[in-house]
Structure 1
Amino acid sequence: MTRGTAARVGCAQGGAVLPDAPGDSPVRGDAYAVLDDSGAVVSWSPGAQRMLGRTAAEVVGTPAAGLLHSGADAARILERRHGDRSVVLGVTGLRHLDGRRVDVVLWAHPLVLAGRRHWLLQAEDAETVRRSDLRHALLQGVFTESPFIIDVFDRDLRFVAQNDSQNRAPGFTNVAGRTMREAAPPGLLDVDALESRQRRVLATGKALIGTEVRGRDPRDPDRDTVWEETILPLRGAAGDVVALAHMVTDTTEESRARERLDLVNEASARIGSRLEVLTTAQELTDVAVPRFADLAYVNLLDPVFGGAEPVTGPLREAVVLRRAASTMDVGDLAKSIVATGDVDVLASAPDSYTRRALADGKPVRLAGDQVRAALAAADPARGALAARYGIHSWLLVPMFARGAPLGSAVFVRITRAHPFEDDDVPLAREMVTRAAVCIDNASRYTRERTTAVTLQRNLLPQSLPELRCVESVSRCLPSGDRAVLGGGWFDVIPLSGARVAIVIGDAGGEGLYAAVSMGRLRTAVRTLADLDLSPDELLTHLDDQVKRTLNDRPAPMERPEPEARSCLFAVFDPISRKCRFASAGHPLPVRVGAGGQASFVDVPVGAPLGVGAVPYESGEVTLADGDVLAFYTGGLLGAPGSEDRGAGSARLREALSDPGVVAALRAGGGLDSLGRAGDAVLSRMHPDPSDPSGSSAPSGLSGSHENSDVLLLARLHGLEPDRHVTWELPAEPEAVGRARALTVDKLAEWGLGELEFTTELLVSELVTNAIRYGRPPLRLRLIHERTLILEVSDGSNTSPRARRALETDEGGRGLFLVAQVAKLWGTRYEVRGKTIWAEQPLTDGTDGADGADGADGSTL
C-alpha cells in the first residue's frame, strides 16, 4: 500500500470512521487503523472492515492486540511502538471475524494528533505485496539491470522510453521523440528493414521474435556486429496496438562461434574428397578463403609428394618444403611468389618460422608491422610485396599426422581490418588437422598404388610377341583422377605348330591384392599353355588351381580376396584358320570381318574361376584371313550385373563398326594402324570429359573407375600354303627313308639346306618311334614359320619320354638325341592320337625370338 496514506489522515477523532482516500486503489492503501499511545483502536477504515469483517463500531476503543492472531505478534508490535520512525512490521497474522487467520504486511507510522502520540497502521494482503514486489523487481531488472536493450516506440515509430542497459551503444541516450532513422549513426544498420518489421507488427499485432540483425558496431565501425531482435506489440485498454517494445541483445560472439563451427563442418565435408595430396591441400585453402582469410597456402615436405613414409623425430638440417596449394581472394600474390610445386626457400630456411613450428608443434601468429618486418628480414622482396598488398595479420599452423611432420598451412589477412584473434587459432588448427589426416591418407594411398602399379607392370607382358600370323596391340584406359588399379590382365603365347594362344582375364578386386592375384593367374596360364592343353581343359585345371588357392588362404584375412575371377582362352591355328575358344565367366570377343561387320563370337560361357563345378566347354570358329578379334575386360562395358553392360556391348560393336576404325583394322596397315584403331575404340567407349573433341589417346597401363579396362586387338592371318606341307606315311620301316627324302627336297625348295642334316636326324628318330611304338595313321608335317617346325603324328595316345640310356641298352637314345638337336620339342595330344613336334631356329637371323614390340606393338 502507498506510504502517503498517513498524510491524508486529517483530524481523526475518537469513534469517527475514516473515509476511503479518494483515488486509492481498492486493493492498495485502504486498510488502515489509528492506535493511541495505549494501543487502543481510535480509527478504523472501510478497507480494514472489508479485510477482517469487523465494523468500526465493533473495533474502535478495543485493544489492537485483540485483532492479532497470536500473542507473539502482539509482543513484537508493542516493542516497536515507542519508536519515532516509520517501521515495517513484516508479515503478521490478523484474526478475521470468523476466526480464520489473515496474513498481511503491516507498516507503522508515528503520528501526533491533538498533541498526543498515535500510530497509523497500514495493512495489505501478504500475497498481494509479494506479487507487487515481484512486479517491481521485474520492472527494475528489465529497465535497469537487464542485459537486453529495451526501447519503446509509438505508432509513429518514435522513441518513447528506453532502459538503462549497460550494453547500449554510445549516442543512443536522450533520443525521445526521434525515430531510429534520425537517431542511429549512418551505416549502423539497415533502417529500412527495421521500419518494415515495425510496421508489420503494428499491422498484424503479432510479435516478431528472434530476428537476426547484422550491422556495424558503433564503437568499432570496421567490425561486424550481430543482434537478436524481438518486437512486441503493446496494447491499450481497448486491445489495439498503441506502441512497440523492442528487446535487443548483442549475439556477436555467439554468431562468431556458430560461424566457426559452420566453417569446421564445411572443412570436414569438403577436405579429403579425393585421395590426392595436391587436391586435398587445395581444398584446405579453398575452404579458408574468403571466410577465414584473404590468402592461404600450404607447403609440404618433399617426401610427402612422392608418397614416402613420414619420418618422426627432429627435422634434419636440409629440409625442403614445396608449395602444394594456394588460394587468394583478390589477386594472385601467393602464386607470384612461389608457384605450385616449387620450393619455398623462405619456409625451408633453418631459422624460418615454419621450421620452428614444425620443431615445437606450436602455431605462430604475427600482426601489424611484425609481419612485414619478419618477411623483410628474411626476404626483402617478400617484405616489399607484403607492404604493397597491406598484409597485416599472419597465422602459421604446423601440419602433423601420426606424430610426423607433413608441412604447414599459412593464413593471411589483407583486406580484413581485424587481425587473427585467440579464438581463430583453434579453428585453424582444427582445419589443418583434418587436412593433415587426409593428406597422410592420400600419401599412403599414392605409395600403395605406386607399389601396385610397379608390380602389375612387371607381371604383365612388357611387350607382345611379333608373330607372322597374329598382329596384336593392347590398350588400357588412361589414368583418371580417381583411378583405381584393378586386376585386368592379358597375354599372347606362341604355341607349338605355329599356333598362338590369346588369353585375357580379370582377377577381380583392386589395388595390390588384385595385382598379386593377376600375377598368379597369368603365371598359371603360361604354365598350363606349355602343356598344349585344349582351351576347355586348360580352364578346368586353372579353376582347380584357383580353388586350391582359396582353400589354402588363412581364415582371418585383413582384406577379403576378390571373388569374381574370369578368363577367356583362345587358340588360333594359322594352318586351318580355326580358332577355339573357352570362357570362364569372361565376356566374349568381338569379330570384325574385312567388310567391317562386327559381331560377338558365339561360344559357350562357363562359370567364373573358383565358383562352379560344371566342366567348361569350348567352341570353334573358322576365321577369314585378316579378321580382327577384339578382346576386352568387363569393366570396359560397365558395372557388372547392371543395365550398362548391355548398352556397353552395343557401344563396343558400334565403335568397332565405325568406318574409320574398320579402315585401320584392315590388313596391311601394320601395328600402327591397329593401335590407332584401339585408341579410337577406347575414346568412343569412355570419352575424356576434358577433351572438347570428345576423344583421347589412351595409352599405358592404367586404371579406370573399377578395374584396369584392357582392350586387346588381334589381327589374324592364315599361314601361306607354300610355307607348310603334310605327308601321309605308311606305318612300315620303309617309310623312314621316304620321309627323309621328302624332307630334304622341301628344305631345298625353302632354301634351308643348312638344316638338312639335323632335320634328317629328327625325321628319322621321330618317324621310327611312331612306326615302332605308335599306330596308324602316320603323318609328317613341316612348317616354315618363325622357326622350322617338324611334327610327326600317329593314332596312339602313348606318351614318349626322353631318358638317358644305359651302356648295355641297344636303343632308347632317340628322344634324347631329339632333345639335344632341337631348340624345343614336346608332345601335343589330339582328340585321337598325339603329335610329337620339334623346332629348329633358322640360321638366316629370321627366327622368331619374342622381340619387343616397341611403339608398334604394346603400349605397356
Structure 2
Amino acid sequence: MESRRLPYIDGVAAALVDGEGSVVGWTTAAEQLLDLDAAQVTGRPARELLADGQADADALGKRTGEVRLRTGRGAPIEVSYQVLPLAGESGEVRALVLATPAETVARRRQDEAFTRELFLQDRLGLAVFDSDLRLLRTNTHLLPYTGLPDDLAGHRLRDFLQPGDAEAAEAILRHVIATGEPVVRAELPIRTLDDPDPGVVMEIQAFRLQAPDGAVIGVTALFGDITELHRYRRRADVLHRATAAVGGSLSVAGTAEDLAGVLVPGLGDRAEVDIAEAVFTGDEPLPGADGTFAVRRTATAGPPGPDGRPLGPLGREELGRPAAATADPPSMSAPLHARGGPLGRVTVRRGPGQGPYEQDDLELLREIAARAALALDNARRYTREHRAAVGLQRSLLPPAETAVPAATTASVYRPTDTATGVGGDWFDVIPLSGARVALVAGDVVGHGLQASATMGRLRTAVRTLADLDLEADELLVHLDDLVSQLVVEGSEEERERGVADPSGATCVYAVYDPVSGVCQAASAGHPPPALVHPDGRVEYLPVNPGPPLGVGGLPFETVDCALRAGSVLALYTDGLIEGTSRDLDEGMAQLAARLGEADLRGDLAAAGRAIVAEMSTAGQSDDVTLLLARLHPVPPEDTAAWTIDADPAAVAGVREAASRTLEHWGLGELVFTTELVLSELVTNAIRYAGGPVLVRLIRSSVLTCEVSDPSATQPRMRRARLTDEGGRGLYLVAQLTERWGSRYTRTGKTIWAEQPLDPPPLSW
C-alpha cells in the first residue's frame, strides 16, 4: 500500500498514470479529495474515475481542463486538472495528473483578479509592508502627492513623511504586526517632507499578512484621503458642541466663557468674546452718537494673541461690522446680534503655520455666533428680570440684621426658587411702643415671584395690625379675616396669572416686653418658636398652633412665657425642619440640638448661616427661613412707675416725681416737655376714664411716657375751633414728641408718647 503512494508530493491531489492508462501512484491529498484510498485506485484504469463517461474521456485528451470524477462518497466532484508527461527510468511513458477542485481554482482566479485590480485602481490607497515596515508594493494612489520618491519599494514612511506623522502611522502598523488585531478607520494627518503645510487627513485600515504556516510576513494598509470629510465632521462637531454648551447658563459672563471654550480648539488657537456693557445690567445696548458701544472683554481662551488686551473694559467700539476673515495673521470675527440689536462680537485666531480660514469656517462662526447671541440675550433678559425680582424681595423683607432696644436680630433666608432668588417665606422685626418688639415668621404656599407678592401683602397687613398694638391672638384673628377676604375677592384673572392663593399660609407672632421679661406668642398653623436659655438649654414655647390663615371660624390661643436675660428666641419656617430624609419631629429635634451647640453669644448672623447649612438636605423642596433674636431686658433702674387716684391734685405730684427721675437719669433737657406731656395725658385720664391711673417712664433708646387707665375708649386728636376751651391736649402732645399712640390692655388702655434722648432745641 505504501509503495503505491507518492510521498514527495503528498500535499497535492495527484495520480501517476502509466502508458496503458492505469493508475500506478496515488497521493494522500488525492485520497482526501475523492475519498478513495490507494488500494482502491492503483492498478485500475484511470478512465474508471470519470463520472460522465465518454465526455470526460474526451476531456482527458487535453493537457488541462475540467472533468467530473467519481468519489467514495457517491456524489461526483468537478475538478480542474493538468497532465504532465513523464519518462520512466526504462523509457516507458508515464503521466502525472494534478487535480484541484474547480471551485478552488475559480476562487483563486477571483483573488488574483481582485488583487490585480486593487493595485491598479487609484481611488483607494494600498501599500504592502514587510515585517520591518519597509514598503514592498503600492498602488498609484500615492503618486499625486508631492515629495514622494518615484519608486517607493524598500523605503520607510519616515523617508518621505514628516517625522511625527511617520511615527504615528508606523506605531499603528507595528501594533497590527505584534497583535494581529486589524485597525479600522484610524485617522492621521499626513504631511510630506517637501509639503508640510497643510497636509491631508488619511483614514487608515491595516491587517497582518501571514504565510500558511502562520509566519508573519508583513502588513497591508488601505488608506483614503478624507480631508474634506474630516473638515466637515470637525465643523459639525464644533457646531454640535456649541449648541450643547452655549445657553446652559443664565449668566452673561458664563455664556461668554462657554462660547470661548467651544471655539478653542474647535476653530482656532485663540478666542475673544467682547460684550456690550449694557448687557450686564440687563439693558438693551444703545449706540452713542458715533455709532459705537461701551464694550467689555468678557471671556478669552487660548494663549495671548496679537490683540493683547486683557479682560475688562475696552472703551467704545463698533459692533455692527459683518462677519469677515483675514489671512495674515489668520483670524475671523462675527457679530453677536440677536432680536434686532448688537450685543457684542466674537473673534477667533489661528497660530503660525495653521493656514488661512476658508469660507466654510466663516459660515460656521457666523452660525455659532447667531446661536450664542440668542443665549446671551436670554441671559440679559434674565438679568433684568432677576434684578426686578431681587428688588421686590428686598423691598418686602427687613434687613438681615437689625438692632432694636429689646433685641438684636439676625436672619437667614434661602428660597427654593434659586433661579429668581425669591420665595414665599417671610419674617419681620417690628418695634412696638413701650420698648417692646414683635417677631414674626410666616410661610405662603408656593414658590417664586407670585408667592413673594402674596407674602408682601401679608407682611404689610401684619405690620399694619401690629401698629394697633393688638394682643397676639387678636392680631391673628384680624389677619385670618383679611386672608379670607382676599380669597373671596381674588379674581379669575389673578388665578390665571398664577398669583399665589393666600389661603393655607401660616404665621407665628411673638411680642417680647423687655420691661416685664414676658413673651406673648400665638400661632396660625406655624411651628412653635424655639427658646435657647442662657445656659444652652433649648425648649420650644408651648404654643398651641391654631388653624392656618384663611380657614376662619376657629380661635387662636396666646401663651405668656417669662424669659431670662440673655435668652435667644428662634423663629423659623417648616422648610428648615422638614425634608425628604426626616419628618417634622426629627427636624425639630435636630434644630434644638444645633441651637444648643451654636455660639449664640457671638455673631448671630454667622451662627444662623451655620445652622441652616447643617440643617439643609439634598433636594430641598421648600423655602427656608431662620430668625434669631437675642433678647435685651430693660434694667429695673431704667423704669419708674406711679399709681394715682382719679384726683386732679395728683397731677402736680406726678410732674415732680417725673422731674426728679429725669434729673437722676441725666435727662434734664427733657424735663419741661415731659411735664407738659404727662400733665395733658394724666389730666385726660382722670377726667374721662377715672382711676386708678398708672404712670410709667421707660428709658431705652428713647424716653417713653405711658399713662394707663381703666377705660377702653381710644383717644383721638381733633381740630379745636378758636372758641373751644379744650381739645388741644393731644395736638400738643403730638407736637412735643417724636410719636405717640395708644393700645388696648386687658384692663383698659395705655396712651404712650416717645421722645428722643437727645432732643433738638425747642424753637418758638
TM-score over 0.5 (shorter chain) = yes
CA distance in 2, matches of 1:436, 1:585: 49
Q: Deviations over 1:280-326 (max 9, x none)?
A: 22232233234432222122223112211345xx8752523322324
8 Å Cα contact 2:402/2:410 also seen in 1: no
Partner of 2:531: 591
Matches within 5 A, 1:308-707: 308-310=283-285, 316-331=289-304, 337-345=308-316, 348=317, 354-357=318-321, 362-368=322-328, 392-461=329-398, 467-468=404-405, 470-474=406-410, 484-487=420-423, 489-506=426-443, 512-513=449-450, 515-550=452-487, 552-553=490-491, 554=493, 557-559=496-498, 561=500, 565-584=505-524, 586=526, 588-597=528-537, 599-605=539-545, 609=549, 615-631=555-571, 637=576, 643=582, 650=590, 654=594, 657-658=597-598, 661-662=600-601, 664=602, 677-682=603-608, 684-685=610-611
Q: Deviations over 1:572-630 (max 9, x none)?
A: 12343110123345555443444455555453445655589865444332112343334
CA distance in 2, matches of 1:269, 1:572: 56
Structure 2 counterpart of 1:330, which letter?
A: P
Partner of 1:713: 629
Distance 1:613 1:444, change over 3 A: farther
Distance 1:481 1:566, change over 3 A: closer
CA distance in 1, matches of 2:131, 2:402: 96
CA distance in 2, matches of 1:418, 1:590: 72
Kindly state the Cα deviation for residue 792 of structure 1 after the two structures are TM-superposed.
1.0
8 Å Cα contact 1:363/1:398 also seen in 2: yes
2:750 is aligned with 1:837 = yes
Distance 1:494 1:457, change over 3 A: same
2:730 is aligned with 1:790 = no
CA distance in 2, matches of 1:838, 1:182: 107
Partner of 1:261: 236
Partner of 1:216: 191
Count of aligned positions: 636
Partner of 2:11: none
Distance 1:503 1:806, change over 3 A: closer
8 Å Cα contact 2:277/2:294 also seen in 1: yes
CA distance in 1, matches of 2:176, 2:756: 105
CA distance in 1, matches of 2:642, 2:53: 140
Kindly state the Cα deviation for residue 131 of structure 1 after the two structures are TM-superposed.
11
Kindly state the Cα deviation for residue 474 of structure 1 after the two structures are TM-superposed.
3.8
8 Å Cα contact 1:486/1:707 also seen in 2: no
8 Å Cα contact 2:234/2:266 also seen in 1: no
Structure 1 counterpart of 2:407, which letter?
A: E
Q: State the SS of the aligned residue for 1:297.
A: strand
Deviates more, 1:759-768 or 1:281-290: 759-768
Partner of 1:152: 128
Q: State the SS of the aligned residue for 2:250.
A: coil
Q: Deviations over 1:712-741 (max 9, x none)?
A: 534331462672436486xxxxx4447646
Kindly state the Cα deviation for residue 836 of structure 1 after the two structures are TM-superposed.
2.2
Structure 1 counterpart of 2:153, which letter?
A: A
Partner of 1:280: 255
Distance 1:211 1:757, change over 3 A: closer
Distance 1:717 1:841, change over 3 A: closer
8 Å Cα contact 1:578/1:622 also seen in 2: yes
CA distance in 1, matches of 2:581, 2:501: 19
Determine which of 193, 197, 206 is the counterpart of 1:231. Answer: 206
Structure 2 counterpart of 1:304, which letter?
A: V
Kindly state the Cα deviation for residue 558 of structure 1 after the two structures are TM-superposed.
4.4
Kindly state the Cα deviation for residue 425 of structure 1 after the two structures are TM-superposed.
1.8
Structure 2 counterpart of 1:501, which letter?
A: A
8 Å Cα contact 1:295/1:412 also seen in 2: yes
Q: Deviations over 1:512-555 (max 9, x none)?
A: 54553343222111111133332233234334434544551426
Structure 2 counterpart of 1:835, which letter?
A: G
Q: State the SS of the aligned residue for 2:232.
A: helix
Kindly state the Cα deviation for residue 448 of structure 1 after the two structures are TM-superposed.
1.9
Determine which of 126, 142, 152 is the counterpart of 1:175. Answer: 152
Determine which of 289, 312, 324 is the counterpart of 2:264. Answer: 289
Partner of 2:658: 747
Kindly state the Cα deviation for residue 261 of structure 1 after the two structures are TM-superposed.
3.0
Kindly state the Cα deviation for residue 400 of structure 1 after the two structures are TM-superposed.
1.3
Partner of 1:29: none
Kindly state the Cα deviation for residue 183 of structure 1 after the two structures are TM-superposed.
6.7
Q: State the SS of the aligned residue for 1:409.
A: strand
Distance 1:845 1:484, change over 3 A: same
8 Å Cα contact 2:417/2:447 also seen in 1: no
8 Å Cα contact 2:741/2:753 also seen in 1: no
8 Å Cα contact 2:538/2:592 also seen in 1: no
CA distance in 2, matches of 1:398, 1:299: 10
8 Å Cα contact 1:473/1:713 also seen in 2: yes
Q: State the SS of the aligned residue for 2:469.
A: coil
| Alignment RMSD | 4.9
CA distance in 2, matches of 1:705, 1:484: 15
CA distance in 1, matches of 2:54, 2:728: 143
Q: Deviations over 1:437-469 (max 9, x none)?
A: 23222222222222233334444447998754x
8 Å Cα contact 2:276/2:296 also seen in 1: no
Distance 1:547 1:149, change over 3 A: farther
Distance 1:425 1:481, change over 3 A: farther
CA distance in 2, matches of 1:562, 1:427: 50
Structure 1 counterpart of 2:387, which letter?
A: T
8 Å Cα contact 2:678/2:705 also seen in 1: no
Q: Deviations over 1:38-96 (max 9, x none)?
A: xxxxxxxxxxx98997999xxxxxxxxxxxxxxxxxxxxxxxxxxxxxxxxxxxxxxxx
Distance 1:310 1:327, change over 3 A: closer
Structure 2 counterpart of 1:341, which letter?
A: G
Kindly state the Cα deviation for residue 365 of structure 1 after the two structures are TM-superposed.
0.7
Determine which of 164, 175, 185 is the counterpart of 1:187. Answer: 164
8 Å Cα contact 1:486/1:511 also seen in 2: yes
Distance 1:167 1:540, change over 3 A: farther
Q: State the SS of the aligned residue for 2:197.
A: strand
8 Å Cα contact 1:453/1:485 also seen in 2: yes
Distance 1:210 1:364, change over 3 A: closer
Partner of 2:276: 301
Kindly state the Cα deviation for residue 790 of structure 1 after the two structures are TM-superposed.
0.8
Kindly state the Cα deviation for residue 484 of structure 1 after the two structures are TM-superposed.
4.6
Q: State the SS of the aligned residue for 1:342.
A: strand
Distance 1:166 1:498, change over 3 A: closer
Determine which of 119, 134, 137 is the counterpart of 1:143. Answer: 119
- TM, length-normalised to structure 2: 0.69
Q: State the SS of the aligned residue for 2:439.
A: strand
